Amino acid sequence: MKIIIGSKNPTKITAVKNSFQHLESEFISLDVQSGVSEQPFSDEETIKGAINRAKGALEQGNGDIGIGLEGGVHETSHGLLLCNWGALATLDMEPIVAGGARFLLPEEVAVRLRAGEELGPVMEDYAKKKNVSKQEGAVGVFTNGMVNRAEVFTHVMKLLVGQFTYQQKLKAH
Minimum gap (Å) between residue 147 Cβ and ligand ITT: 10
Q: Shortest approach of ligand ITT to residue 13 CB, angstroms?
A: 9
Amino acid residing at 59? E
Which CB, 46 or 90, lies closer to ligand ITT? 46
What's the rounded Cα separation, in Å, for the pair 150 and 84?
11
Q: What DSSP character marks residue 55?
A: H
If the CB atoms of residues 20 and 153 are measured against ligand ITT, the closer one turns out to be 153
DSSP notation for 83-127:
EEEEEEEETTEEEEEEE---EEPPHHHHHHHHTT--HHHHHHHHH
Length of the chain counted residue by residue = 173
Q: What are phi and psi of 39, to 5 degrees?
A: -120, 90
Q: Are strands 26-29 and 2-5 parallel, antiparallel or unpaired?
A: parallel
Give the binding site for ligand ITT (CB under 6 A): 7-9, 12, 38-39, 70-71, 118-120, 123, 132-133, 137-139, 149
Q: Name which of 25 and 37 has its Cβ closer to ligand ITT.
A: 37
Nearest approach in angstroms of CB 133 to ligand ITT is: 3
- Shortest distance, CB of residue 84 to ligand ITT, whole angstroms? 7
Three-state DSSP at 147 gives coil
The nearest distance, CB 40 to ligand ITT, in angstroms, is 6
